[in-house]
Structure 1
Amino acid sequence: MSFGTEQQPGICTQPEALTRDFVFNHSMLRVKDPALALDFYSRVLGLRLLRKLDFPELRFSLYFLAQALLAEDAPAEAGARTAWTFAQRGVLELTHNWGSETQAGFSYHNGNTQPQGFGHICFSVPDLDAAVAWFDRQQVPFVKRPEQGKMKDVAFIQDPDGYWIEIVEPARLTRLGQQ
């Protein structure tokens, strides 16, 4: 028998058939300086820029990033690549409101200070120890190292805008949340 869903109050066990092909495409983070954010997500986390969209009349730009292997399948033609990008899973959208990069002291709420809201995004890595060593060499700030706190084998780093990024090695998490 295949897995359908865990049972919890509020869970719909038989979603509408229409929703079967809905795809969770992307999450968006606002960034102060796109050059800093793009460097971090491409150099440190290995993402590739699928598409940049500019909206001059609204004074903002969107940057859509995804895992390098996914990017290899993207069409070359811009319009086709835009449509293709919005059909993928696991895309990160960075939104830059023009001018924020020149505003001294400006920052976005990272969701982890009061009032709390958004918490983090997460990357799975094949080797947590190697990833931690890589982040150390890149001087990436840690919120929590894997050996710290009560929840072991889970790390949190910060991007240039202060957003938290959880780093996990799936094979180490088989007992996570179990007594």
Structure 2
Amino acid sequence: MATDAEQQTESDRSLFGARLLHTMIRVGDLQKSLDFYSGALGMKQLRREDYSSSRFTLVFVGYGDEAAHTVIELTHNWDETGYTHGSGFGHIAIRVNNIQAACERLASLDVKILRPPGHMAHTADKGQRDIIAFVEDPDGYKIELIEKR
């Protein structure tokens, strides 16, 4: 039996005009995070909003403008230096053309490589096994790199 979501047509979904805009992560040291996301990962700083009266800053980073691409919102609360991640959040995934070269570059920038490039340990039912690696940002968030097929 098809679920409600499966029964929706493309025109039904387009009525909402929905598109994934961004994901927000809280960061303890905004400059270290900008060095990582913009410097090491090559994202562009798209927009910055300072809220002095409320003591926080939002910086949006990504590989393309917000009108057409999903981006990351870095939220820096000025009076906080770190956060716990809980057990619900997993990771952010980025597709790369050459995973070995990407990891070598990141390692040269002292980015922590949690899992070096290699095939996934498990094979999907259809026999697919991506080549992946994991790195860590300055706040301990996991970033999965997936080599483009």
Q: TM range, normalised to the smaller chain?
A: 0.7 to 0.9
Match of 1:92 among 59, 72, 82: 72
Mapped to 2, the partners of 1:32 and 1:118 lie a distance apart of 17
Mapped to 1, the partners of 2:2 and 2:135 lie a distance apart of 31
Match of 2:8 among 7, 14, 25: 14
Question: What secondary structure sits across from 1:41 in the alignment?
Answer: helix
> 1:110 matched to which residue of 2?
85
Mapped to 2, the partners of 1:55 and 1:40 lie a distance apart of 23
> 1:30 matched to which residue of 2?
26
> Percent sequence identity over matched residues?
37
Give structure 1 stretches of 5+ with no counterpart: 1-6, 72-84, 102-106, 172-179
Dislocated runs of 4+, deviation >3 Å:
7-13
CA pair 9-141 structure 1, distance change in 2 beyond 3 A? farther
Q: How do residues 165-176 of structure 1 correspond to structure 2 at under 5 angstroms?
A: 165-171=143-149
> 2:126 matched to which residue of 1?
none
Are the aligned partners of 1:23 and 1:88 in contact in 2 as well (CA < 8 Å)?
no
CA pair 134-12 structure 1, distance change in 2 beyond 3 A? same
Q: How do residues 19-168 of structure 1 correspond to structure 2 at under 5 angstroms?
A: 19=16, 21-67=17-63, 70-71=64-65, 85=66, 87-101=67-81, 107-111=82-86, 116-147=87-118, 150-151=121-122, 153-168=131-146
Question: What secondary structure sits across from 1:36 in the alignment?
Answer: helix
Q: TM-score, normalised by structure 2?
A: 0.82
Mapped to 2, the partners of 1:100 and 1:109 lie a distance apart of 11
Instruction: Tell me the alpha carbon deviations over residues 97-155 of structure 1, each in whole angstroms, 9 at most, x when there is no partner.
Output: 01224xxxxx21234xxxx1010001110111111111121121122112387256211
Q: TM-score, normalised by structure 1?
A: 0.69
Q: Which amino acid aligns with 1:13?
A: Q
Size of the aligned set, in residue pairs, is 139
**Which one has the bigger strand percentage?**
2
Mapped to 2, the partners of 1:18 and 1:92 lie a distance apart of 25
Are the aligned partners of 2:90 and 2:142 in contact in 1 as well (CA < 8 Å)?
yes
